Copies of this chain bind each other. A is one copy, B any other.
Amino acid sequence: MKTEPGLHGHHISQQFNEELEDIKTNLLEMGGLVEQQLTDAIQSIIEADSEVASRVEAADVEVNEMELAIDESCHRILARRQPAASDLRLVLGIIKAINDLERIGDEAAKVARLAGELAQQGEPSKGYVEIRHIGERVRAMVNMSLDAFARYDPEAALAVAREDNNVDMEYGSAMREMITYMIEDPRSITRVLNIIWALRSLERIGDHAKNIAEHVVYMVVGEDVRHAGLSAMEEQVSSEE
C-alpha cells in the first residue's frame, strides 16, 4: 500500500519517522488479518464450513495480541517522542482505529460461531442471500477504510461513511424479511434468529468501518467529525481541498 511520503518528512529525527511508519504498517497488517477473518466468516456461514469457522475464531487471539502490541507502541511513542500536531493526531488515530479493528474481529468471530450452529441445524436457510450481500458490502467498507488510512485520503473516508447509510437500509429490509419468515414458520425461529445475529454483527462491522473512516478525517483535516452527521463530514473534507 502507498503511504504519503511528504506528511512526516519534516522531522529532524529520522528514527522517529521510522517509528511512526512502523506503527502505521502494523495497523495495516492488523487490518489485513481482520479483513481475512471477515472474508472467511462470511464464507463459513454460506458454505457451512466449520473448518473455516474455527480458523476465524483462532485468528481472534492473534488480532487481540496485535491490538495490545500496537497500543503499547503508541504509548511508548507518546511518552518518549512527545509528538505534536499531525504526528499526535496520527498516533491517537491509530489508538482509536485498532480498537475498531479489534471489534470487527470480534464480530467476525461471532459470525463464525453462528456458522457452526447453523451448520448443525441442517437444511439451507433463508437469509443466506442477505448475508452474502450485506457481508460483501461491509467487507468492501473495511477494505476502503483501511485504504483511506494508508493513503491519508479523506475522500475515500467519506465514501465509507456514505456507504454505511446504504448498509443500514439494506439491514433494515433484511431484518423485516427475517421476522416475516419467523412468523410464517415458527419452527424456523431458532434458526432464523442465528441469521439475525449474523446480520446484526455484519451491520456492526459497517459501523466500525465508518468509525475508522472518521478517524482518517480527523487525522488529515484535524476536525473530529464523529456524531456530526454525513453532511458536516462532507463540509470538513471539501473545505480541506
Q: A residues near B, CB below 8 A? A: 64-65, 67-68, 71-72, 75, 78-79, 82, 84-85, 88-89, 92, 95-96, 99, 179, 182-183, 186, 189-190, 193, 224, 226-227
Top 7 closest pairs, chain A to chain B, by CB: A82-B82, A64-B227, A186-B186, A79-B84, A182-B189, A183-B189, A68-B224
Give CA–CA (A224, B64) in the complex, Å: 12
Give CA–CA (A72, B89) in the complex, Å: 11
Give CA–CA (A92, B182) in the complex, Å: 46
Contact check: which of B71, B75, B84, B182 meets A186 at CB < 8 Å? B182
Residues of B contacting A88 in the complex (Cβ-Cβ under 8 angstroms): 75, 78-79
Give CA–CA (A94, B61) in the complex, Å: 26
Give CA–CA (A68, B84) in the complex, Å: 19
**A71-B224, A82-B82, A182-B182 known, 13 other contacts, Cβ within 8 Å:** A64-B227, A68-B227, A72-B224, A75-B92, A79-B84, A79-B85, A79-B88, A179-B189, A179-B190, A183-B189, A183-B190, A186-B186, A186-B189
Residues of B contacting A227 in the complex (Cβ-Cβ under 8 angstroms): 64-65, 67-68
Residues of B contacting A182 in the complex (Cβ-Cβ under 8 angstroms): 182, 186, 189
